[in-house]
Amino acid sequence: MKKIALFFVSILLLATIAKADLSVTEIMYNPNQADDTDAEWIEIFNNGLEVVDLSRWMLNGNHLESFLDPKQYLVIARELIDSDDADIDSFQSIWGSVKAIDGTFSLSNTEGSINLTNGGESDYVIYHNSMGANGNGYSLELFNGTWNESLKLGGTPSAKNSLDNSLANNEISLTLNVQNVLPEVNFEILTDDLEDVGIQIIANDTREIKLRAYVNDANGLEDIIKVSAEFNDKQINLTRINETFEGSFQINKELEKKIYEIKITAFDSLGNSSTKKEFEFIGVLATILETTNLNFNLVPGQISEEKTIAITNNGTKTVHVNLTAINTREIPEKNIEIFLDSWQPINKQGFILEPNERKELLIRIKVPNIKSNVFEGKIRVTSK
């Protein structure tokens, strides 16, 4: 009699466990939607006929808290709602308010195991990143006893698996994720007052700075929402002219004399890209060059007589004056010298000129051993 009684107790106990029938059906082990601590999750399914009290179940050694109705899915999220960490990411911020609870677990990004058990019944899953869903935004889904990468980006948390929906009907789901290619933008500053390398703009009045931008977008120029320029914390919208975008802005001659940066940004339907260029804003009208011609008659190897250049600062601000020899051909720049405390090449350094100050400079030329000819060059005087 005792043996028969024990036999019937065992049968009843097994029947109770069988009714639960919980299983792991989906795994997001290496999300790219956010950090693992915010976006890992595991989906379970109640394939039984009764409500399951999850407090009797453990996931990887940690207790669960909730109830799961028959034929229903439930997500166990590593961070259901954003906590007090540094970011604002969580399961709910990414996948919305689907049926989910918080759980305590951590999933390896290479290989790992998940054990869902109540002490009598277990669903033990081993996964490996070779199965798919390795940091590409997809999940691992269970279909017909086999784990495969989900057909839907982001998986199907708390819902029927995408593999279930398609493969059961002999269908292949096609997902084409067309990513936006940011526009390529380049531009030129059309205003350039000097022949020197780079862009130099002379502060002789209120100046109009003209810009022309060239934009290349894989989706065509019709996808470009706007192209704008940014200068000195001001934004200027450029107008499309056929295949380019053009515009201008003004700067006052009183603006500080220095190197400035212009930033051009092209915006398309999904993003933007930028490029930058510099120009130098220089003053020349603050100085008056009293000498306009220098004529030297020399023979090779000679040092010329000294001549005088007179410069006056006719402005209201202190300026730094620079002299540069240009277009001197066979005569090296270093051979043209001015006297500033000592004889030195003309382009080596400048000097300070106060408002209403007049300065006389001595200049001379060392002629190299070259054939006789007439050499015509220029001495450019700039101030800033």
pLDDT tens, position by position, 329-363: 777 888 888 888 889 888 877 888 887 788 888 88
The single-letter DSSP state of residue 253 is T
- Model pLDDT for residues 54-95, shown as the tens digit of each residue: 999 999 999 999 999 999 999 999 999 988 777 889 999 999
Q: What percent of the chain has pLDDT over 70?
A: 82
Residue 15 has pLDDT above 50, yes or no: no
* Mean pLDDT value across residues 257-283: 89
- Strand, coil or helix: what is 130? helix
Q: How far apart are CA 105 and CA 70, in angstroms?
A: 25
Contacts of residue 114, defined as CB under 8 A and 6 or more positions apart, other chains included, come to 24, 27, 42, 59, 60, 105, 107, 123, 124, 125, 127
Residue 256 has pLDDT above 90, yes or no: no
C-alpha torsion angle, residues 363, 369, 373, 375 (rounded to 10): -30
Q: How far apart are CA 191 and CA 138, in angstroms?
A: 52
Band of pLDDT at residue 196, cut at 50, 70 and 90? low
Residue 2 has pLDDT above 50, yes or no: no
- Model pLDDT for residues 278-333, shown as the tens digit of each residue: 998 876 533 444 445 566 666 677 787 788 878 877 666 677 888 887 777 777 88
Residue 247 has pLDDT above 70, yes or no: yes
Highest mean pLDDT among 157-166, 253-262, 279-288, 307-316: 253-262
Query: Which of 112-116, 244-248, 374-378, 379-383 is predicted with the least confidence, judged by mean pLDDT?
Result: 374-378
| N- to C-terminal Cα separation, the chain | 112
Q: Which domains does the chain have, with CATH numbers?
A: 2-167 (no CATH), 184-282 (2.60.40.10), 287-383 (2.60.40.10)
What predicted TM-score, i.e. pTM, was given to this entire model?
0.42
The single-letter DSSP state of residue 306 is P
Nearest Cα to Cα of residue 107 among 159, 55, 43, 54: 43
What pLDDT does 365 receive?
A: 82
Strand partners, 125: 114
Assess contact for 45 and 73: CB atoms under 8 A. yes
Q: How far apart are CA 380 and CA 384, in angstroms?
A: 13
* Mean pLDDT value across residues 4-10: 31
- Model pLDDT for residues 21-31, shown as the tens digit of each residue: 899 999 999 99
Give the dihedral sign, CA 143/149/151/156: positive
